[in-house]
């Protein structure tokens, strides 16, 4: 559920309240959240480091690390490093500004970072799909090598409709599968794919290779609009998957969903009941009269 707009909202919170702080102490209580390189590597990579920047690529958060760069056996490469965070399905980053240790620790808190201003950054994740790791090997834009397979980020690089059209014509898969493919665009997930399809008046089950050029261009515009509005609204917070920002506040874009989570409810455009089907294994919502 956390997709580009939700992760971007968390990024902005980090930018405003965490960037510039130094990590004084790291505690890992959930090994699965640090499974990529292990807790020793995370602690060694973060201890004493300055959190120098907060960027994002797709659904990945990238916190640039400054300050002393320890030559340790876990991060022998010289040059810049970054803390990479992926929230996956249920991960949350929460900032506790009260004196460290004075606020009850929520269930499923797996990593705690004590910062030099007395605040504490916590990683909470009931389903433990999310992860944190420190990596070197950043390219010129500060993107880790492990994320090299991601396509352009709609907010960072923008959406090139011509490129989207070129990619679409070579495929036989569904429009839904195309949109949630992170190599096509980084950051679009099931929810915003459905909302963009509604705005472009295209059914998610359409074969993407069968789309006309004008339809793909319409899709590019729809994606830009939906993602932009969702970011402005602070993302979507659903009933079950309760995404919240750094301060625990929900987003409000769920109040503007046209189709997602609205099965059986009237289409905002024509009143016809919204339908839900499975496309490429994903729950897909659409209006059968407005979308072709």
Partner DNA sequence: AAGCACACCTGCTAGC
Partner DNA sequence: TGCTAGCAGGTGTGCT
Residues facing residue 133 across a β-bridge: 84
Residue 71 neighbours by CB under 8 Å, 6+ apart: none
Pair of tokens at residue 285: 């919502």
Q: Please, what is the minimum distance in Å from the beta carbon of residue 285 to DNA?
A: 8
The residue among 272 and 278 lying less far from DNA, judged by its C-beta, is 278
The residue among 20 and 126 lying less far from DNA, judged by its C-beta, is 126
Q: Please, what is the minimum distance in Å from the beta carbon of residue 229 to DNA?
A: 18
Q: Dihedrals φ, ψ of 74, to 5°?
A: -85, -30
Q: Please, what is the minimum distance in Å from the beta carbon of residue 58 to DNA?
A: 6
Q: Please, what is the minimum distance in Å from the beta carbon of residue 205 to DNA?
A: 10
The residue among 41 and 84 lying less far from DNA, judged by its C-beta, is 84
Q: Please, what is the minimum distance in Å from the beta carbon of residue 48 to DNA?
A: 28
Residue 13 neighbours by CB under 8 Å, 6+ apart: 93, 95, 245, 246, 247
Residues recognised as catalytic: 2-3, 59, 282
Pair of tokens at residue 183: 């190599």
Q: Please, what is the minimum distance in Å from the beta carbon of residue 70 to DNA?
A: 26
Distances (CA, A) of 167 to 65, 151, 185, 222: 35, 11, 11, 17
Give me the residues that bind DNA (CB under 7 A), please.
1, 3, 32, 58-60, 86, 88-90, 107-108, 126-129, 171-174, 177, 180, 182, 189-191, 239-240, 280-283
The residue among 156 and 173 lying less far from DNA, judged by its C-beta, is 173
CA pair distance 176, 178, nearest whole angstrom? 5
């Amino acid at each position: 559920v956390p997709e580009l707009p939700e992760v971007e909202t968390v990024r902005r919170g980090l930018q405003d309240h965490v960037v510039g702080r130094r990590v004084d102490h790291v505690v890992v209580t959930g090994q699965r959240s640090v499974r990529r390189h292990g807790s020793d590597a995370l602690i060694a990579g973060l201890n004493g480091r300055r959190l120098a920047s907060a960027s994002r690529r797709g659904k990945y958060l990238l916190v640039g690390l400054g300050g002393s760069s320890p030559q340790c056996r876990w991060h022998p490469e010289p040059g810049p490093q970054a803390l990479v965070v992926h929230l996956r399905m249920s991960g949350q980053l929460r900032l506790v500004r009260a004196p460290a240790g004075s606020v009850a620790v929520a269930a499923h808190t797996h990593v705690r970072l004590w910062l030099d201003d007395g605040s504490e950054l916590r990683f909470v994740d009931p389903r433990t799909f999310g992860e944190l790791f420190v990596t070197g090997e950043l390219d010129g834009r500060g993107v880790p090598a492990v994320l090299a397979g991601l396509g352009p980020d709609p907010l960072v690089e923008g959406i090139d409709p011509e490129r989207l059209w070129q990619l679409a014509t070579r495929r036989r898969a569904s429009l839904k599968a195309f949109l949630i493919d992170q190599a096509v665009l980084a950051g679009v997930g099931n929810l915003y794919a459905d909302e963009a399809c509604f705005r472009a008046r295209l059914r998610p089950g359409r074969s993407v290779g069968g789309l006309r050029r004008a339809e793909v261009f319409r899709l590019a515009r729809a994606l830009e609009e939906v993602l932009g509005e969702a970011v402005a609204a602070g993302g979507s917070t659903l009933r079950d998957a309760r995404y919240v920002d750094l301060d625990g506040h929900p987003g409000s874009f769920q109040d503007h969903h046209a189709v997602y989570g609205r099965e059986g409810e009237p289409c905002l455009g024509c009143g016809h009941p919204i339908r839900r089907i499975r496309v490429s294994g994903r729950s897909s919502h659409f209006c059968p009269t407005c979308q072709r």
